[in-house]
């Protein structure tokens, strides 16, 4: 389906292409430098720094880097869960035990080599780090469009779980407006190399 009645799906597609093109212009060195700054800024959020369990992900390509943050979270004593993509596009989870325990997976992703804990393992998280391409002033996140994290957020909502939802982005990816659809869910905070920003979302 290329569009809905309001054109929001096609608007999302256009914005995704624009932002991915901007990321493609970044050098490897740009991404590495940004990752170090992002890790420091993210740990300035008590929601992450004080979390006992964080559901995160391993950044790939020119995504805002998470690897330094994963190690920093472990250094703070947090249990870090990483996603494992299932055949139906849902996410299983496994504990992160360090970079030596990451294996190549489909779609260019890296996944932990430990025991699978089941899709409901995310319900134990105090904070969930969500991948994204943009966020707006209302905290609405633009994802890649695969739907995996829509399932995660729906699972959290159905279980009455309320972890802090955080997205890591580059500064230019905080935009005026993200086209929102009924199933979209706002995040609680964004972290960019310029620092962290919280959103006030209705309960």
155 is in an annotated binding site: no
3-state secondary structure of 153: helix
63 is in an annotated binding site: yes
Q: How far apart are the first and last CA of the chain?
A: 31
44 is in an annotated binding site: no
Dist. CA 171–CA 23, nearest whole Å: 11
Q: What are the phi and psi torsion angles at 74 (to 5°)?
A: -60, -40
Q: Which residue has the tokens 């939802």?
A: 165
137 is in an annotated binding site: no
146 is in an annotated binding site: yes
Structure tokens at 82: 């990483």
**Beta bridge mates, 143:** none
164 is in an annotated binding site: no
State how far the alpha carbon of 65 is from the alpha carbons of 9, 29, 71, 146, 190, in Å: 27, 11, 12, 20, 14
16 is in an annotated binding site: yes
58 is in an annotated binding site: yes
Q: What are the phi and psi torsion angles at 49 (to 5°)?
A: -60, -35
3-state secondary structure of 151: helix
187 is in an annotated binding site: no
8 is in an annotated binding site: no
106 is in an annotated binding site: no
143 is in an annotated binding site: yes
Dist. CA 191–CA 49, nearest whole Å: 13
141 is in an annotated binding site: yes
Structure tokens at 160: 């009455």
Binding-site residues? 12-16, 58, 63, 141-149
| Binding region for ATP | 12-16, 141-149
Annotated binding site for substrate: 58, 63
């Amino acid at each position: 389906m290329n569009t809905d009645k309001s054109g929001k799906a096609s608007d999302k597609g256009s914005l995704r292409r624009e932002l991915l093109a901007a990321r493609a212009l970044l050098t490897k060195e740009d991404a590495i430098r940004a990752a170090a700054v992002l890790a420091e800024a993210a740990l300035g959020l008590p929601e992450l720094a004080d979390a006992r369990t964080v559901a995160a992900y391993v950044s790939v390509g020119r995504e805002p880097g998470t690897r330094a943050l994963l190690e920093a979270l472990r250094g703070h004593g947090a249990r870090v869960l990483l996603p494992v993509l299932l055949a139906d596009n849902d996410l299983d989870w496994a504990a992160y035990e360090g970079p030596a325990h990451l294996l190549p997976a489909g779609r260019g992703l890296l996944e932990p080599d430990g025991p699978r804990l089941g899709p409901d393992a995310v319900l134990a998280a105090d904070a969930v780090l969500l991948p994204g391409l943009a966020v707006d002033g209302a905290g609405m996140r633009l994802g890649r469009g695969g739907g995996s994290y829509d399932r995660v957020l729906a699972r959290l909502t159905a279980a009455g779980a309320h972890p802090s939802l955080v997205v890591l982005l580059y500064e230019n990816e905080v935009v005026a407006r993200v086209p929102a659809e009924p199933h979209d869910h706002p995040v609680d905070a964004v972290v960019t190399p310029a620092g962290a920003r919280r959103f006030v979302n209705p309960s």
